[in-house]
Amino acid sequence: MKTNIYQGIISLFVGSVLLLQAIISIAPVFGGTSGSRYWPILGYAMYSRSYSEGDFVDIYRLLEGVAEDGTIIPIPKESLGLHLWHYRNLVRDLQQGRKGAFEHLFSKLPPGTDIVEIRVKSFPVAVTRDGPVEKDSVVLATFPVPNRFRVHQ
């Protein structure tokens, strides 16, 4: 009886983990995503996108603030105290207007910084057959700063 219960528990564990991992592994074939929602069972989509010559190397996108007089204020990740991944996520959150993202950005900027617009720019490096080349950064998106974060309204 005790043996059967133990074997049942182990069977449930190995069966469900292997089955779930198999489903997540082949999900992209059927149009599903192999995400990390069910971590520690997750998709292993590591370095999986393909790229072509001339593509910008999307290390992370750069943030810039634009003051009312047109002055550009760079906002590097170091100024926000964020590692690369979370800086990347913050840029995404700002673009999506996620609650809390603007609050976090302005809490880290020097007091009195008045920005009317935020720009998202590409990292200025592209890939070629011969290796990396410097390429002018392009503006990928711009969006206005909500009034509540403006110093002079």
Partner 1 sequence: MSWLRRWNDFWFQPGHSFDLAFIRLVLVGLQCFVLLSYSFPALTYALSLPEYLYEPRIVTRLLMPWAAHTMLDSSVVLGMFWIAFLFGLTSFLGLFTNFSLLVFAFLNILLQAFIYSFGDVHHPEAVMMLALVALALSPSGRVLSIDAWWRARRQRDPAQLIPLLDHMTQYARWPIVFLQCFFPLMYLSAVVSKLTKGGFDWANGISLQYYMILEAHKNDSALALYVSQFHYLLKFAEYIVLTFQATFFLILFFPRLKWIYLPLGIIFHTVIYVTLRAPFPQWIAMYIVYIPWALAFTWLAQKKVSDSAQLSP
- Shortest CB 128 distance to partner 1, Å: 8
Q: How far apart are CA 83 and CA 34, in angstroms?
A: 25
User: Which of 66, 79, 104, 137 touches partner 1 (CB under 8 A)?
Assistant: 104
Q: How far is 115 from 72, CA to CA, in rounded Å?
A: 9
- Which CA distances in Å does 119 have to 11, 33, 130, 139? 54, 30, 31, 7
- Least distance in angstroms from the C-beta of 124 to partner 1: 10
The only residue of 1, 2, 52, 72 in contact with partner 1, by rule CB under 8 A = 52
Closer by beta carbon to partner 1, 26 or else 67: 26
Question: Quick one: which of 16, 17, 67, 68 contacts partner 1 (CB under 8 A)?
Answer: 17
Structural contact between residues 117 and 145, judged by C-beta atoms closer than 8 angstroms: yes
Q: What is the DSSP string of 4-68?
A: HHHHHHHHHHHHHHHHHHHHHHHGGGGT----STTTTS-----S-----TT-B--S-PEEEEE-T
Q: Is the CB of 98 or the CB of 144 nearer to partner 1?
A: 98
Regarding 137 and contact with partner 1 (CB under 8 A), the answer is no
Our finding on whether 16 is near partner 1 (CB under 8 A) is no
Provide, rounded to whole angstroms, the least separation between the CB of residue 40 and partner 1.
Answer: 4
Binding flag, residue 29, partner 1 (CB under 8 A): yes
* Interface pick for partner 1 out of 74, 76, 103, 144 (rule CB under 8 A): 103
* Whole-angstrom distance, CA of residue 138 vs CA of residue 62: 10
Choosing from 1, 5, 50, 72, the residue that interacts with partner 1 (CB under 8 A) is 50
